Amino acid sequence: MSLVKVLKHQYGDFEIDIRNWEIPDHGVTALWGPSGSGKSSVLRLLLGLDPANQLSWLVGSDDLAAVPVPMRRLGIVFQHGELFGHMTARENIEFAGDAAVKTRGLKVSRVEENTERFIERLRLNAAADRPASLLSGGERQRVALARALIGEPRVLFLDEPFSALDAENRTEARELVRSVLGELGTPAVLVTHDASDLAGFSGKISRIENGRIVSEKALT
């Protein structure tokens, strides 16, 4: 289990203020709430994309607030994938793998093994050498997932990962993410405002309103 002891930040008149928020070592912690409740802001602050006014986040023996952002070993899948359009699917994944070698100390052989593993597991063989700009929505999200996982993150963040997909791809993507996370045992924080995104996942729901966690319950 990791523990966000305190996360505070002021965005103009809007304040994020979270205390003693537990993220279990397995399963999904769903950060759920309406638009404007602060979900994506919490994600950005924990990832270090925005510097927090105050942060203490204990993961094992480390307080990630004291760890340089590139070395925090966190993965992220954004809503629209955020791939490099001029690179192929494989090159996008390898780019993240190179970064993991430089900042996380992963061995090159391990990254190469992970690249082939995720291309196979996420059914990307046919798309591997296609430019990202030509991928379908479902393929883009699978590449984004492979890219996020290749560095073996301590925690994987999923920011509205299914909302840009049509109904068929959304169902498939949800099932695939659930299956892969179960196999890897990687803890994940799933940011969503849509309760249907939580179907089939196990873990817990943390409801956020006005920048604060107001309730929690089991996700089954």
- Give pLDDT tens digits for 155-193: 999 998 877 777 777 788 888 888 888 888 899 999 988
How confident is the model at residue 200, as a pLDDT? 80
Q: What is the pLDDT, as a whole number, of residue 60? A: 85
Residues of the chain with pLDDT under 50: none
Domain(s) of CATH 3.40.50.300: residues in the chain = 1-72+154-220
Q: Are 167 and 115 in contact (CB under 8 A)?
A: no
What CA–CA distance (Å, rounded) separates 56 from 53? 11
Residue linked to tokens 């004291």: 66
pLDDT of residue 53: 96
In order of 72, 87, 207, the CA distances from 194 in angstroms are: 28, 32, 12
The structure tokens listed for 216 are 């929690």
The answer to whether 187 and 156 are in contact (CB under 8 A) is yes
Task: Give the per-residue pLDDT at 81.
Answer: 61
Distance of CA 149 to the CA centre of its chain: 9
> Of the CATH numbers 2.30.30.790, 3.30.365.10, 2.40.50.100, 3.40.50.300, which one belongs to the domain with range 1-72+154-220?
3.40.50.300
Q: Tell me the pTM.
A: 0.90
Rg (CA), the chain: 17
Query: Residue 19 and residue 56: Cα distance in Å, rounded?
Result: 9
